[in-house]
Every structure is written in C-alpha cells, then in structure tokens.
Chains A and B, each alone.
Chain A
C-alpha cells in the first residue's frame, strides 16, 4: 500500500514537474508546481514525517506559491518564452549539463549499498512534538537565526519592492 502511494506520488511529481517548467503559461507553471508540492508532502507523510508534510503544504503550497501567483498577476505576464527558445548553444549546453549532473547523481546513488529505511522504534517519528522539542533545545541557535533571517527578508522585500521616490 505504502509502496503504491509512493509510486503514484512520484509519477505525479515527475509529470507535473515537467509541466511546471515546460508549459508556456506562467499560471499553469505555478499550479503544476502546487501539484508537485502536494505529491512531495504525500511522500513525507508516507515516510512518517508528519510535521514536514504539514509545513510543506502550509509554507510552500500555501505561502510561497501564492506569492508567485500574486507577482505573476501583478506584472500581468500572459505567457513566457518557450523552453530553450534562446540561444541554441545555450540551450544545448544547458540540457547537456543538467543531464550530466543527473547521470552523475544516479551513478552515485547506484553505488550506495541498498538499504530500506525504518522508523527507529524508540523515536516518535516526525510529529510536531519531537521536532519542536529538538528546535527549542539542540537547534535553538539556528532557529533564532532563522527568525532574524525572516525579519531581514521581510524588510529587504519591502525596501526592494517600494516605489522609488525622489
């Protein structure tokens, strides 16, 4: 059962991932990416990472992609350039580089010893409670730094997007 859920989510992620980068309408790109993020959330949920599945949906599908949609509609972008419609050399080199990176990664994965994952019997998996406790104890400093980063990003975004007044 779990295997089928994973395979279905993987197929969805790949198909809509291709749609997200290949379709000419930016709205369809963003909505396809929403489907990809839902599929990834399903995979996290299947792996027992409940909290991650939730924040994947809330932060990515809920906040980040809505921001994308908002900017696309604000700038009124009706259609974007076709994939690889720029310089021919750039398109060929870009595709070759990407596929070379992918081939290298696949070779690296294939040399790993095959292992099946398992949730540690003593742990509670990835629910909000153990993750929250870990964030507030072991990882407290990076957690506070992230809050600083978010404030900086908020102020930076405001300053950048503000209308220039002289």
Chain B
C-alpha cells in the first residue's frame, strides 16, 4: 500500500456523508410508501458507513497498532451484515402487510395508535 498521503481531506467524506444522510432522512420522513421509506433508510445506513470509513481513513495512520487501524472497517462490515438481515426481515414484513390490506401505505397501518 502506498504510504504517501492521499489528497482527500477526510472532512470532505464527512460532508458527503452528511448530505446523503439528509437526503435519506427527507425520504424517510416525507414518503408514505413502505418500500420507499425502506430505500431511504438504506441510504441513511450507507451514509453512516461512509462516516465510519472517513474516520477509519483519518485515524489509520495515528493508531498504535495495525490491528486497531482496521476497527473502523470492521464496523462497516458488521453494519452491512446487520443491514442485510434488516432488509430481509423488513421486506418480509411488507409482504405480510400487503397480504392483509392490499397496500403498503404506512398511513393505513394505524391500529397501534393510542
């Protein structure tokens, strides 16, 4: 691996992550179709991954041992695994919801309201 500085300030990656997070949050809060909300949620998860990548990149040279330099990337690995599990269960839930009401508009599922 090339030990020289790579000319990307890690703050740029963080700014990109913040922008993607805002786009995802707007999607989650303003959409009413369950699948669309779920897609926007995936975008938010990925922006969090990008923030982890940015900090892993930023502190890779500063950490004491090579093993610790990988911790940020290991975190992203686990987030991706959990996101895959979450997508499988979530989409199965939407199929079950669709069976019940023939729609996945989240406004129509309100029996848990007080």
Contact = CB atoms under 8 A, between A and B. Distances in A.
A120 B57 contact: no
A4 to B, nearest CB: 10
Interface residues of A, number: 93
A3 to B, nearest CB: 5
Nearest to A145: B78
Nearest to A121: B3
Interface in A9-46: 10, 13-14, 17-18, 20-22, 26, 29-30, 33, 36-37, 40, 43-44, 46
Interface of A: 2-3, 6, 10, 13-14, 17-18, 20-22, 26, 29-30, 33, 36-37, 40, 43-44, 46-49, 51-52, 55-56, 59-60, 63-64, 67-68, 71-72, 74-75, 77, 80-81, 83-86, 90-91, 93-95, 97-99, 101-102, 105-106, 109-110, 112, 114-126, 130-131, 134-135, 138-139, 142, 146, 149-150, 152-154, 156-158, 160-161, 163-164
6 contacts: A14-B23, A20-B40, A59-B84, A71-B95, A81-B33, A95-B30
Interface of B: 1-16, 18-27, 29-33, 35-36, 38-40, 42-43, 46, 49-50, 53-54, 56-61, 63, 66-67, 69-70, 73-74, 76-78, 80-89, 91-96, 98-99, 104-105, 107
